[in-house]
Structure 1
Amino acid sequence: MEGILAPGSLDLMIQNLREQDTGVYNCSATYAGNQQLKAGVLVEAFMDIDFGDTPTHQTPLLGTEAKIRCTPVAKPAPQVDWLKDLVPLTNDENHVIQQDGILIKKVTEADEGVYKCRARVPSLGSIDFKYIQVEVYVPPKINIVPEDAKGVELDSVTFNCGAVGKPAPKYSWVNRDGEVLDNKEGYYVDKDNGILTIVSLKPEHTGNYRCTAENDAGQDFAEADLLVLTKPKVEQYLNITNSVDDEAEMRCVATGDPMPEIIFQKETNVEPFYNGINHDDRIEVQQTTDDQGRRVGIMRIRGVMRSDDGLYTCTANSEGGVTQAWGHITVEYKPTFENQHISEVWSWEQEPVNLTCLATSIPNATFQWYFRNVEIKSQDTNFEVLERGPLGVLKVRPSQPYYGTYTCQATNKLGSERYDLQLKEAHVPGPVSSVKVEKKTATTITWGIVDPLDNGGLPIQSFIVQWRVRDMNWVDAQSKQWTKGSSYTLDGLTLQEHYIFRFAAKNEAGIGEWGGEKAEEMPKRAAPEEPLIFNADSPVVELPYTNKYTLQWQVPLDNGEPIDFFQIMYYQVRNTSGKWESTGKKGTEESKYPSASSYTIDNLRPGTHYKIELRAHNEIGYSTPAEAIIKTAEGKWLCHRWK
């Protein structure tokens, strides 16, 4: 404030007028030296509307008492009114309009909206307003409660937690020790969606987990428990060895959380063994717990048998998973000769021979040899022990005194067993017992040969035939050898020739003496033998086709003249009183030979019986017919021809 003097006047000037500068100002003066003069001046200030620190975004909490604040100031003091979403507001039971705002006794979501706080100063003719965005905040309320879970060791598990609230809540998780799990190794927290994932589960992950949903309005909690199941572990499962008739006990020890059940099963069995006494009442299974809290499965077998030998599985099974281990039961037993199938061995011309004994036993047996019940000593050079177990082999260089009964004795810790082998002297077979002609054509003879009464101690391997023209000597004879059991047929003989035949048998020792001498005259040329129709063994051959039949046959002997064609005759037949009678015209076809020994007859009727007659032809004439009855399949009659 600054005063300026001028003749007869005094001025007071106030710059930057403030509220505290208003009031009455007094001016005093002295006149004529002694007369006091005094005057007062009232200074007043006017201020335009100002909303000050009124917030434009306000967030009352649902269900609480709150005030929507608006504090306009002016001088003179302003008049204030309110609008919400452009609708004027008045006092009601829940809303009271006050000088500094609207008091809401209990906030509801309906209180959310855009408020207009309007201030007026009529004396100044001024008006102003401010918009206030009111957002009702809602504290979180968990509506997706995490559920208790179980997880297998090394697997993963997920907890879900969800809440409603405004603004959208954020989530956090802590474990039983209160540790925040966000960014902790092995844990993955989705803060926006409330999901907790725990990977590579370990037993120490077992416990309580708490989900917190939080926003600016508050927070809510929910908890869930996790149980980590550990996969069973087989701690002990040992192979065992028992003797026949003993009692065997297999023990399988396993750990895990929860405690596993132990199941025994033999590898070769379809079904496992059951707890308690099984169908085979020699076998009993028990479950128990040892002093370390481990599960122990015990399988006992009374009166152990050789069939109990083998692999057995121990399976530890729980919610945590399955673990399997393998164990073996070895059943020991004394030697047997159950797989020894040879009791006779032959030698000839003092050829060395091996006598072999095969003993079956656990543990393996060792062998000792005896000849005529006298133990064989190493000093006799006619004997040589080649193997002593589990296969016993004795080499013998036999002369006449060394043929006879040999005994091999197999021994292990459980006992001994003996087995006798006969070493016999073999020789060539005796003469053939009997020979007869089974079939004779113009150029072939088929023989029936009976084994010699004496096979020389060895199986007959083959037969030998020699033949000569009647007026010739045996030195000029021809010969042929047949394997025993084959067709004993000679071909390429001469028409109407007189032959002398003789026969011998052969075994591993050599060819026996000749016998069975026969004189035979070959017949004249003739029509071929009857052919053989393949696959015609049934009284009626049911065909898969409706209209065709492929006839196949074996070419017969030609009886001295080459076969030039085959005649195929076919016609419809019906069975009358057990006899097949012709009911239609006969069809005749010819198949040239040499060619394929088959022919396809087509254009047949479906579901019809036919008789087939097949004849071989040469220059002399036709063979007797080979016959077959066929029946075509049911169906439509299709007319086409195949060759």
Structure 2
Amino acid sequence: MGPTGFLGDKGGIGDKGERGLRGSKGDKGEQGPKGISIVPPQITKSPTDVEALMGASVTFACAARGFPPPKITWRKQSSKLPVLRATISDNNSLVITNIHRDDADTYICQAENVFGVKNAYATLVVQVPVTFISVPTEIVKAIIGDKVQLTCRADGYPLPKVTWSRPNGLPKGAVVTSNGSLDIYNISREDFGQYKCIAENSIGSQSYTLSLSPTGGEGDETGMNVLIGRQASLRCSLCSVPGFSFTWQRMGKALQSDRVQVKDCSVVIRNVVHSDSGNYTCIAANDYNGFSLKENIPLTVLGLPRFTSVIPFSAVVKSGDNFSLPCKAVGPPKTSVYWSKEHVKVTNLSAVATVRISNVSKSDEGVYHCHAINKVGRISVTTRLAVLRFKFDSPPPLKLEETVGNTVTINCAARLAEGLPTAEVSWKVPCGRSKSHYDIKADGTLTITKASPWDSGIYECTAKSFVGDPITAKVNVVITADGQKNLDWRDTDDSCSGFVQSSYNNTVYYAVAASATWDKTKYYYCPNGFRWACTSETAVIFTIGYYYGSGGHDTLYRNKCGWNDYLYKNYQRYFFRFRDSFQTNGHKHSGKSHRYQVEYSSSTSYFAGIVCLKD
């Protein structure tokens, strides 16, 4: 056999064979565990409306299901749940003990889990027994021929119905008013006597009895009270004694008036006025022996109250000042006064009522009434209180966006009222800008000509007047080239997206720059919703003069967000700058504590970014 020959070249890949038969199906695997159903809250037991007597205890039941199991809470629709008297039981029922009238409301059962909220509602109606809130004295005096109102106001729930009764029936023409009072007109002798007021609701009833009796007498009685404008007849008690002649005097002088008629032992005074009040003297002289007797007969003319204090038609008060205005009126009869505003009493009933307001504000404006009351009736006088305060003609907008190169005008005129001169207005412009850069008019208008990004920032106008405290308005102005902030200067590649919130103050943020060199002439925009901060406003936030430890502990950016110590993208970065840093050299150091104070350096190197504040 000869020697083995050389190994030949490797042959090519043959044709692909036919696909083999499919193998048999494997055994069915075991069934996995049953999954958990996620279910939003569902109320399974809703609370029902309750009507209960004041002082009782009530329970509102509520149940719910869902997964996760919902949490059930209770609240009152118009205010907070009663303190100490409202408790939540173990089965989530709301229990209110010793219910008060103001507990009447709608109560809300709320079931909540991470997948939703369900509410159920129930109303509490509090039944309140009848109580009287305004009744006259036990004896009410009235003058024959006059009108009298017997007051009987009652409270409760349901609202009580008020009725009046009298043993021999109510006087003809007497009217029960909607507020429960009984009005009796043209009083006669037959109208005097006992009256009963009855107030009743579904809970029970209360009654009150008073007596209506005459005051002094009617126009033909001796020693009497007579209504102004009526006729008074004075008669001497010696009229029936023969042998006497009679003369009459008042205040030591003979009676002289075309309204006075003297007839022997009587005097008739027609259409009496207040000046007719006084003592009238009947002088009875014996015709035989000259012996004389004197009898004093007092006459009091009753009338509506008369104001003795001057109440101006209107009063003007500066905002913040104190205001007082007394009111006094006299009778007879005895007169009391009180002040009200919009039908609400602001002073108590007294001989002299003074409305007093400290630190007057806009809410004190309005119409004030002084009411004078006596047994004859009541009168009122009105004064209008106006509060001087100044306000902006039209407050400037909170935010104003404009395009670079345009003219921007901000109006900030303020005055006391239409037609009056404008108040003195001063402006505070964004840091880093001088007021000389702007056109500021005497009427408070500020104009920016050929606006640039550096004109962006907070503008604050302050209006001063001799009335009250100054008023201020702030405008956040944003100047952009095309309606969008140019944020190309930013770097957002680190793990914090180049934007970190201060852990010391949640309004302060730090935005990282792409370049590590600070361009003092460049305006760096903060992201939307933020503005570039000033040195001074940040300096008052961060005042701590030391920082915690070293390394990354509580630092702004050092060793955080992917930074290696101060190194990020091959550059050391220390300084976060303010919009006016080109003037102040202020900065926040990336390696210091969040709360560490503002520092100062003029270096344009080691630029980290800028400090931003929320709008």
TM-score normalised by the chain length of structure 2: 0.32
Larger strand fraction of residues:
1
Larger radius of gyration: 1
TM-score normalised by the chain length of structure 1: 0.31
